[in-house]
Amino acid sequence: MQAKSAGLFVAAFLAAGGLFLTGSAVMAQEQPKPPTPAPTLIPFPINRPVPLPGQVTPTPQVLPVQPPEALVWDANEKELTVKPGAATAEFFFAVTNVSEAPYTITSIHTSCGCTVAKAPPMPWTLAPHSDGRVEVSVNLAGKSGTIMKQVTVQSTNAPKLLNVTIKIPDSPELVRLRNMQMATADPAAIFKGECASCHVVPTVGKFGPELAKAACGICHEAERRATMVPDLKNLPHPTDYAFWKEIISNGKPGTLMPGFSVAKNGPLSVEQIESLAQLLAKTIPSKLTPIPGTNTTLVRLPPSAGLPAIPPPPAPPAPPAPPAVPK
């Protein structure tokens, strides 16, 4: 008697569940969710949206409940580092229906207008043991840094979220601009922090040509160097040991040419600076001959060089005026 009534109860319950389910599968597509019913001890159909009395259900199509583990995705999230300036980032997610029943995906949404998901027309039914693929294209116009987008794959189950992360490196132009701004604010910036990995570390313990390449060539011999960085072999003014030593030690005030001496917060020892000055004085011919009567070639430096100008030699005394010839 007990067992029989329990059996009846289960049968009634299953029938009710089936009804609920049929209604809910249709509802899930078109209708806003009514408030979630209060939790009860009845386990399964009750959490699904329930049609309100009098509601019209437009699509007569009925989708079976599908076990969530039926679809196996190759990943939940994917990450891509694009080239600076890339227009789009392209991903795909592969999916397999590992179950014995067809599985229907009802819709796919993306988290922004910049993200487009491509898949077969909806509803998209994957036959048992068949594969499919969702392509995701993110438009990167106006984007920078690290961005994350989401794709929601909807079926009669809980939605499946696919995440994509795109890393957009700064363009070389932007990096240069930022470095130049830092160096303008603090000429010794290039010797500090992450800048040092390129501008200081290669100079450590070096002398002569190796040092010139590491300390000076990085800027002065770079193919893509900024326009204001001059070719040291073609300076428009005379150069000598004293000139090289001065510019290497103290840099050119008010410009991006840093001073390398310890006094200027630079990385080079006195011996390293002298080794450079000797090398450059020896290997780079001075453009103009020193002006007779002075013992330096610095006289012809333009005032913009930021180096102390030495007054030009006194003009030779004017020849005596010719005697006035009476007419």
Q: Which of 151, 247, 249, 250 binds ligand HEC (CB under 6 A)?
A: 247
Amino acid, single-letter form, for residue 154: Q
Q: Nearest distance from residue 272's CB to ligand HEC, in Å? A: 9
Number of residues near ligand HEC (by CB under 6 A) = 37
Q: Nearest distance from residue 326's CB to ligand HEC, in Å? A: 56
Q: Which of 143, 206, 213, 225 binds ligand HEC (CB under 6 A)?
A: 225
- In 3D space, the residue among 122, 119, 167 whose CA is nearest the CA of residue 144 turns out to be 167
Is residue 206 involved in binding ligand HEC (CB under 6 A)? no
With tokens 């993110």, the residue in question is 138
Instruction: Write the DSSP symbol of residue 203.
Output: G
Burial of 166 (0-12, 13-18, 19+ CB in 10 A): buried
- The pair of structure tokens assigned to 255 is 């410009």
Is residue 284 involved in binding ligand HEC (CB under 6 A)? no
Q: Is 44 helix (H, G, I), strand (E, B) or coil?
A: coil
Smaller CB separation from ligand HEC, 43 or 193:
193
- In 3D space, the residue among 125, 134, 130, 122 whose CA is nearest the CA of residue 78 turns out to be 134
Is residue 298 involved in binding ligand HEC (CB under 6 A)? no
Q: Which of 65, 147, 218, 291 binds ligand HEC (CB under 6 A)?
A: 218
Q: Nearest distance from residue 130's CB to ligand HEC, in Å? A: 48
* Rounded Cα gap, residues 298 and 292, in angstroms: 12
State yes or no: cis peptide before 172, omega within 30 of 0. no
Q: Nearest distance from residue 221's CB to ligand HEC, in Å? A: 8
Is residue 154 involved in binding ligand HEC (CB under 6 A)? no
The CA–CA distances, whole Å, from 214 to 222, 244, 270 equal: 11, 16, 17
Is residue 287 involved in binding ligand HEC (CB under 6 A)? no
Is residue 200 involved in binding ligand HEC (CB under 6 A)? no
- In 3D space, the residue among 168, 172, 94 whose CA is nearest the CA of residue 134 turns out to be 94
Contacting residues toward ligand HEC, per CB under 6 A: 176, 179-180, 182-183, 189-190, 194-195, 197-199, 215-216, 218-220, 222, 224-226, 228-230, 232, 235, 247-248, 252, 255-258, 260, 276, 280, 305
